Amino acid sequence: MHMKAIAFYEHGGIEVLQTVELPVPDVGRDDVLVRVRAVALNHLDLFVREGLPGLHLTMPHILGSDIAGEVAAVGGEVTGWQAADRVILNPTLSCGTCALCLRGEDNYCRQFGVIGEHVRGGYAQYIAVPARNVYPLPRGLPFAEAAAIPLVYATAWRMIVTQAQVRPGEVVLILGIGGGVSSAALQVARAMGAEVWVTSGSDEKLEKARTLGATQTFNYRQEDWGAAVWKRSGKRGVDVVLDNVGEATWSSSLRTLRTGGRLVTCGATTGPQGITNINLVFWRQLQIFGSTMSTQGEFQDMLRQVERGRLRPVVDRVLPLEGAQTAHRLLESSEQFGKIVLEVP
């Protein structure tokens, strides 16, 4: 059997993405074969397509970490799933047997990986994944919305709940609202009882953030957002900053924190070399947390909040699978608010 997929045979620009026919993946004894119905984009897709240092892929490679679909077949050792079950996939890969995995710290596993980055992903009609990565689709969600959940909401959940330990009444500043992780983090922070402030270079995105519950907004194209945040906080600073922008915002992010404040980062889209004022860190007793993906337990906790209606994925637009090049172009230009999703025929 063969399947339709969007793949690339070499790293490069948008033009390397091709519509191809590839064999349907083999199903191991502990695997589930999923008929993909929708797959959402992440900035990770852009980085992998362009090439990451130390990442060596088997070509052709298929992108796509955020996947929703239906069970097509199961391996001989798999129980609990049957054909046509509606499912959502956890994109975090681990060995499942080491000491870290067994004590629930699977995102620290030495064999840690991400579907769509380290192995083939969901820009295709079928994908085979370990059974432990398969979860029931939250009730009432169409595939396109469900595909907008996994990577960004799991990442946001770990950043807000586990790393920053946000408490009710605290002020959380989220940089670059409009991206998938940022719009997810806004909802997670609100669900934890926090007040949320956001930045963007687009008044339209800031207005959309207000509809999701942001109370203070800052357009970094029109003002020095760091100084504005400091002033609006009464020169106290905010409790938590979520920064996945990196080099361009790092110094200002640290300066806007209150004494004892926390900065959490899960990425560096503008570059990895942020300048850190060490005097500021120790004098204000700041805490800096790195965060990558989530554990299986955190993923389950996040999905429960989706089930209860406290988190609702934000979809910017839905395109056909063959529109992958257009989708990458939109994501590169930061025109979207929320997730761009590809429907798989």
In the chain, domain spans: 2-149+313-343, 153-290
Residue 123 near residue 143, CB atoms below 8 Å: no
10-residue block means of pLDDT along the chain (345 residues)?
Answer: 97 98 97 98 96 94 98 96 97 95 94 96 98 95 96 96 97 92 95 97 95 96 96 97 93 97 93 93 97 95 94 94 97 90 97
**What CA–CA distance (Å, rounded) separates 84 from 70?**
5
Q: Regarding the domain with residue range 153-290, which homologous superfamily does it belong to in the CATH classification?
A: NAD(P)-binding Rossmann-like Domain (3.40.50.720)
pLDDT at residue 126, rounded to an integer: 98
pLDDT at residue 178, as a whole number? 84
- Residue 71: the pLDDT is 98
DSSP letters, 103-155, are TT-GGG-TT-EEBTTTB--SSBSEEEEEGGGEEEPPTT--HHHHHTSHHHHHH
Q: Which residue has the tokens 């990577």?
A: 151
SS3 content of the chain, % helix, strand, coil (to 5): 30, 30, 40
Global pTM?
0.93
Q: Answer whether 65's CB lies under 8 Å from 91's CB.
A: yes
Looking at 3.90.180.10, 3.40.190.10, 3.40.470.10, 3.40.50.920, the CATH number of the domain 2-149+313-343 comes to: 3.90.180.10
